[in-house]
Structure 1
Amino acid sequence: MTSVPDKSVFSWQNIGISILGGIAAAAIFAVVARGGFGGLLFAHLAPLPLMIVALGFGVRHGFSAAIVATVILSIWLHPVIGMAYALLVAGPGWFAAYVAAGAPRGRRDLVTAHVSSWASLAPATVLATAILLWIIVATISFGSIDEALNPIRARAFILLDAMVREKELSDKINPTELSGSVARAVPAFLAAYGLLIHIANLWIAARLAQASSLLTRPWPDIATDFHLPRAVGGVFLSGLVMTLFSGPSGAMGLVLAMTMGLLLALQGLAVVHIMVRGSRSSALVLSIIYFMLGLLGWPIVPLAALGAADLFFNYRDRKTAAAPAQPQKPAEKSD
């Protein structure tokens, strides 16, 4: 992929765009903070304005917009909300756009290959780190991770107990035990679902920038470009081992396993795209897989296993190498 330097130009127009992008991002998150179903749906677009500014007008302007949004939320709502926004939305969102832009530094790009996978790994790193730090701080502050998660556990118990009484769940289910498991899974779920939101917004922002002729990088073939480093597989396995322990170690292991597992599932999807590419049933197969992912969710497990195996066996490279070469026309003989 061609190296493209960062195009952040500090003109009054671009500075104004940075400020407007920050205001828009803060406004979206303010609606989310007020709660309600509409706010919950709107939450999925929280990183979008920052990413559009970063990809369309330069990563420095995207960073400026992130700072503006964080300051507005810290003053307007509460410093804690501003900090949460910075750690869960602005930080991972800007970092994803920065890497997607090639991680420009000086007159060169630090990331020139497999940009799509590195851009997905960037928000995963920020989100996982932020939530792991929260688990450590909460455990120290409350004495145990279970005490810190008690409010979530109480809400889950009320909901599960009502479902058991109304026969929506089997009476063999113990709401007390299940609510504890649900509460322990919440930090990992937030990390993984937040990662999914950031990746989806990054794709949308890049497409919008491309449609507006603002995207300076060529669009990659994601199915072939998405190659995670093998260290992701090691972190994933380490997280699985940590889940066998109780306390904060188990909660932290679940965060690592779910975030890295989602990335591996994306690599598994890339493998499937390459394997069915060129076949007559490719559209049908992919439609079924995406439908099952959205409806059931469990297909993410075999996809993650396929992605982990691809880290070491390079199935896509093997298929490309095994593809029949195009026949060459014989050279014409000259008289």
Structure 2
Amino acid sequence: MIAIFTVALAAGAASALMFASISSGVLISLLLAYSAPLPLLVVALGWGPLASVVSGIVATAALTTLSGLFRGIKFALGVALPAWWLGHLVLLGRPHNTATPTDRAGNLEWYPIERILIWILVIAVLTTVSILLPFGIDADAIAETVRQALQVVARQAETDWTPEQITFLAKLFAYLAPLFLPMSVTLMFTLNLWLAAKVALTSGRLHRPWTDLRNIVLPPVALAVLAAAVALCFAGGTIAMLAETVAGALLFAYAIVGFAALHILTLSARNRTFWLACVYVLAVMFYVPVLVMAALGVADAVLGLRQRFLQTRPPPLPAE
């Protein structure tokens, strides 16, 4: 028990320092802040819910001491609570209906990865809305708030920005932030959860079998929600902002499905590892490949591309 609390304390302190580093203004601090959920998720997957709660409390208390109550609350709601919940879901399992008392412990039905991804989307949407609402309730209000803030920055920094440039940047933020912020939050929690699971698996502390992510799919209702969200993006006002946020999160989820489909569809390709690496590098550097992967994910959901490919290529998949 002492060892568990020691690990939880260390993880909480590390997460708080990583999140607080963003105030330094150094470029590497962006990566550290982006990885702030990682220590909490590692503890949640490797040492259980109690250790996760302790690490979250320690991190929140440390951050409140370092940066104030507002930053501590923001960390607790935006990082610690989602990390605990996702870790809980990953370890959530129940015995199969066919399990006997002798094999019940080892024959569990684990919480589906697809539903965990849906929860990540919910977290991304709520986080994005909480970030944007202080700026305004629609694109025009957000643009005006950002324009005023940029004018203040331009005066204080004595830049040569023209009013037209400031207005353009403000409108660009107002119209793109609801789309790309949920993508960024979805990537943050998905990537950190995957890394935490890898760490727990490597250390022998992951208590559920590893899931082949190349088989991940979204429920059919997700496609209907995406179509409705895209249509409501043209409604204007607050509804359009919320719809764009939902559409951004779902598009990134379908991009994840698209990457999974790409891993299957390239099984017969020569230099497969090289081409996959190129796609991932381009996706990190630019957003366009992510949108292409989202289109591939939607096409796979509609046409069943992976199933059709595997029917023509029946050998088992190689381990990755």
Greater C-alpha Rg? 1
Change (3 A) 1:104 1:255: same
Mean Cα displacement is larger for which, 199-208 or 176-185?
Answer: 176-185
- 8 Å CA contact 1:92–1:124 kept in 2: the answer is no
CA distance in 1, matches of 2:111, 2:9: 32
Contact 1:93 1:123 in 2 (8 A): no
Superposed CA RMSD in Å reads 3.2
Q: Which residue pairs with 1:98 in the alignment?
A: 88
State the Cα distance separating 1:57 from its structure 2 match: 0.8
Deviation by residue 1:60-99 (Cα, 9 ceiling, x = unmatched): 3213322332233235422221222123222333333333
Q: Does 1:153 align with 2:144?
A: no
Distance 1:291 1:24, change over 3 A: closer
Q: Is the 8 A contact 1:275 1:319 kept in 2?
A: yes
- Measured after TM superposition, the shift of residue 223 of structure 1 is 0.8
Match of 1:112 among 101, 110, 118: 110
Counterpart check, 1:199 vs 2:206: no
Read off the aligned partner of 1:42 and give its amino acid letter.
Answer: L
Q: Percent identity at matched positions? A: 26
- Say if 1:55 and 1:206, in contact at 8 Å, map to a contact too: yes
Tell whether the 8 Å contact from 2:139 to 2:174 is kept in structure 1 after alignment. Answer: no
Work out whether residues 89 and 111 of structure 2, in 8 Å CA contact, stay in contact via their aligned partners in 1.
no
Retained in 2: the 8 A contact 1:23–1:69? yes
Q: Which residue identity does 1:124 align to in structure 2?
A: L
Distance 1:91 1:230, change over 3 A: farther
Q: Which amino acid aligns with 2:180?
A: F
Question: What one-letter code is carried by the residue in structure 2 that aligns with 1:53?
Answer: V
Residue 208 of structure 2 is matched in structure 1 by 217
- The Cα of 1:55 is off from its aligned counterpart by 0.9
Distance (Å, rounded) in 2 between the aligned partners of 1:240 and 1:42: 33
* Partner residue in 2 for 1:297: 287
- From 175, 179, 196, the equivalent of 2:170 is 179
Partners of 2:108 and 2:241 in 1: CA distance: 33
Taking a change above 3 Å as real, the CA distance of residues 113 and 262 of structure 1, as seen in their structure-2 partners, is same
2:120 corresponds to? 123
Q: TM-score, normalised by structure 2?
A: 0.80
Q: The residue matched to 1:218 in structure 2 has which SS?
A: coil
- CA pair 79-241 structure 1, distance change in 2 beyond 3 A: farther
Query: Does the 8 Å CA contact 1:239/1:254 hold for their aligned counterparts?
Result: yes
User: Is structure 2 residue 243 aligned with structure 1 residue 253?
Assistant: yes
Q: Residue type matched to 2:173 in 1?
A: V
**One-letter amino acid of the structure 2 residue matched with residue 193 of structure 1:** S
Which secondary structure does the structure 1 equivalent of 2:288 belong to?
coil
Cα distance in structure 2, aligned partners of 1:163 and 1:299: 34
Residue-pair matches, total: 301
1:27 to 4, 17, 21: 17
Deviation of 1:316 (Å)? 1.5
Q: TM-score, normalised by structure 1?
A: 0.77
2:129 to 105, 114, 132: 132
Task: State the alpha-carbon separation in 2 of the partners of residues 297 and 135 from structure 1.
Answer: 21
Aligned residue identity for 1:296: F
Q: Which runs of 5+ in 2 are unaligned?
A: 96-103
Instruction: Could you tell me which runs of 5 or more consecutive residues in structure 1 were left unpaired when the two chains were aligned.
Output: 1-10, 166-172, 327-335
Distance of 1:163 and 1:195 partners within structure 2: 36
> CA offset at residue 154 of structure 1?
4.1
8 Å CA contact 2:20–2:33 kept in 1: the answer is no
Q: Deviation digits for residues 154-206 of structure 1, max 9, x if unmatched? A: 456778xx7987xxxxxxx8652452132343244332212212211112211
Which of 51, 58, 69 is the matching residue for 1:68?
Answer: 58
Paired AA for residue 313 in structure 1: L
Q: CA deviation at 1:288?
A: 2.8
